[in-house]
Structure 1
């Protein structure tokens, strides 16, 4: 038996997963998430904000201490889109190493895609599926081809699109703004994504998709087991979008299933989800909790083959 843990330092949140291995089976010991918004202002300035760095450092230290207290023997920490996009990532990397003793690895888009695919395939048979990962800074599309793993990363994450196009996220978003954002996303999809998903299973990971499932399920307390494998329909996502867009930020924060810290970026994230589903002509998407964290865990335990 071995206990290992992973931390994913994302654009919007910092998450941790600790598991214990029993043979070829994994049991989750602890999952935690803190909204740190590391990507605050990154799209405009390409620099980390010092307040965001402090929030993220606190979360990483908290997670490391928590895992060490649980007897976790190995910990891996990775950073993705926000840290790839900035010129001063060292201000966080250096202090994490100094304060925790662990390296914060800034992984490439290719490596992020590979790890996400490894995680999402944890409980899926075969290779006939497409992974869609809507993050804070970008959205990844990952699929298997005869020649190997393919992926496409587009700069349309929930934080990035909110900062670019929703100037007053505390107010309702009108139909013209919704249409404009969807038009921008559609141009990106048509110009950069060539996919034919007919007949394959489409799996969604990331905070936007899991949040939409939690809202649809009316979860007062988030339940990863109920979210994992949930099928959310295209029409339900549109219904949720119109409901979210018609509310002020304070009203959104009271919606059952929506983390209050995500209320300011959920409209943009939901527009991305709906635009992708329409572009790929899907009637639903299967939600998964197995993402890059599971990919990291599988690799640490040599279960990725």
Structure 2
């Protein structure tokens, strides 16, 4: 696979492009993301499915801009897929031929099941969840991919999209007809005789727009959409407010942006109907979708379209690009594990916190790579956004705070107040901060020393036997702030 790859997805509403750069065998990072709301399917459902000239011209001009960006970023591979609008249109060859002739680009029209599968591959690899159904509401169709125990079970595509529903029903004020049409289509899911999970992973512009509004209304502390989750029962009234809005002024009052006025009611109506009919209790929002699924299917084609076990693409990508010394990172991770294990009888933390401590210890030096001064603060801000994939919001906030309060005083109640709803108790955060501080301090001279940790439970004391005692290390260990009722002793 090329080091820099461009993926373009031509949907009924929007054309989207991502440019991704490999940093090692399975790791990559996003270097460009561009969207153009060309609405290529505009008017087609009222004209026997045929693409109209003006929307095709918008898509043509956007493609030219996309390819200019791709070329400037030295992308050596371009994969372009098209979904519902082009696969349904009798005259799609007109557009496909023009793109091929003028730009030398072959557009691959994928069927609905393949589109759903790509969404499933993206969610399976880039979100932290074992069983769910992806729901990708597009302009012409909605795709469902059922995942159980980290395995894709079934992919389904139904002809219920925002533009289709708008032109066939909403423009005629036939809301009951729209609901019946959606419910009739949803029967095809129940005919599959598969277990339907109560969690959906929302893909596509309509669901992401709704999730963004819910985040803002709830004053959610983290401004990151990928991985954001909410309970359906708490947001049903808001969904109905969008659906029942009588004009654009009411939509604007709800926080909806102008470029979503044309399809947000239809998209929310489809979403609400699906949530009700499938008895969904929770929605997880995915920032990744078909484009990332296409990329991962290529990248992971020799491994059943899954990352290796215990592999995290975000951690690996950050280390590939910013770690100062791979041997130091590995040492810090191993030493963090030792410290956590020996102190387990005292801190009594769940094992998941061991994983967080190890990741934080490996990544803490990233701040110095960005800028040596205030390195912990640099790392905090960067990691909140840099752990892009396969992390719960709570996880990335815990890791970022653990790094922020290393090599300094342990956090106070005030220090964690801003992100309190995403963090564990103050005691847990103080233990994590202490353990990473101890880890960093014992390797202050970067000598990767052999250390024996001995826990004296009776006296609540951790004893350290260092391979090489130096004044620098000893003096800094003595400065460490300790969790309450706990002692540290250098043998």
Q: Which residue of 1 aligns with 2:79?
A: 76
Q: Which residue of 1 aligns with 2:22?
A: 21
Report the CA distance shift for 1:148/1:255 in structure 2 as closer, same or farther (over 3 A): closer
Q: Which residue of 1 aligns with 2:486?
A: none
Report the CA distance shift for 1:230/1:125 in structure 2 as closer, same or farther (over 3 A): closer
Tell me how far 1:145 sits from its aligned partner. Answer: 6.9
Distance in 2 between residues matched to 1:215 and 1:140, nearest whole Å: 23
Q: Which residue of 1 aligns with 2:178?
A: 181
Counterparts of residues 133-172 of structure 1 (less than 5 Å): 133-144=136-147, 149-167=153-171
Tell me how far 1:101 sits from its aligned partner. Answer: 1.6
Tell me how far 1:12 sits from its aligned partner. Answer: 0.5
Distance in 2 between residues matched to 1:113 and 1:183, nearest whole Å: 23
Structure number with the higher helix fraction is 2
Q: Is the 8 A contact 1:249 1:264 kept in 2?
A: no
Tell me how far 1:56 sits from its aligned partner. Answer: 0.7
Q: Which residue of 2 aligns with 1:43?
A: 45
| Bigger mean CA offset, 119-128 vs 37-46 | 119-128
Distance in 2 between residues matched to 1:71 and 1:113, nearest whole Å: 30
Q: Is the 8 A contact 2:137 2:267 kept in 1?
A: yes
Report the CA distance shift for 1:53/1:253 in structure 2 as closer, same or farther (over 3 A): farther
Distance in 1 between residues matched to 2:70 and 2:253, nearest whole Å: 31
Q: Which residue of 2 aligns with 1:272?
A: 270
Distance in 2 between residues matched to 1:148 and 1:247, nearest whole Å: 40
Rg comparison, structure with higher value: 2
Q: Which residue of 1 aligns with 2:126?
A: 123
CA-based RMSD of the aligned residues comes to 2.6
Q: Which residue of 1 aligns with 2:461?
A: none
Distance in 2 between residues matched to 1:94 and 1:184, nearest whole Å: 34
Q: Which residue of 2 aligns with 1:109?
A: 112
Tell me how far 1:265 sits from its aligned partner. Answer: 0.9
Q: Which residue of 2 aligns with 1:261?
A: 259
Residue deviations 1:27-50 (CA, integer Å, cap 9, x gap): 110111111111112223221101
Distance in 2 between residues matched to 1:148 and 1:115, nearest whole Å: 10
Q: Which residue of 2 aligns with 1:203?
A: 201
Q: Is the 8 A contact 1:140 1:152 kept in 2?
A: yes
Taking structure 2 as the reference length, what is the TM-score of the superposition? 0.55
Residue deviations 1:273-293 (CA, integer Å, cap 9, x gap): 011111111222111011111
Tell me how far 1:225 sits from its aligned partner. Answer: 7.0
Q: Is the 8 A contact 2:19 2:33 kept in 1?
A: yes
Corresponding residue pairs, total: 292
Distance in 2 between residues matched to 1:133 and 1:157, nearest whole Å: 9
Distance in 2 between residues matched to 1:101 and 1:196, nearest whole Å: 44
**What SS does the corresponding residue of 1:102 show, helix, strand or coil?**
coil
Residue deviations 1:106-164 (CA, integer Å, cap 9, x gap): 11222212222212212246753211111110111111479964122111111110111
- Residue of 40, 56, 61 corresponding to 2:59: 56
Taking structure 1 as the reference length, what is the TM-score of the superposition? 0.86
Distance in 1 between residues matched to 2:51 and 2:22, nearest whole Å: 36
Q: Which residue of 1 aligns with 2:232?
A: 234
Distance in 1 between residues matched to 2:170 and 2:8, nearest whole Å: 30
Structure number with the higher strand fraction is 1
Report the CA distance shift for 1:279/1:57 in structure 2 as closer, same or farther (over 3 A): same
Distance in 2 between residues matched to 1:250 and 1:41, nearest whole Å: 25
Tell me how far 1:239 sits from its aligned partner. Answer: 1.1
| Greater RCO structure (CA 8 Å; 6+ sep) | 1
Tell me how far 1:298 sits from its aligned partner. Answer: 1.5
Report the CA distance shift for 1:164/1:137 in structure 2 as closer, same or farther (over 3 A): same
Q: Does 1:33 pair with 2:35?
A: yes
Distance in 2 between residues matched to 1:73 and 1:261, nearest whole Å: 33
**What SS does the corresponding residue of 1:6 show, helix, strand or coil?**
strand
Q: Is the 8 A contact 1:3 1:74 kept in 2?
A: yes
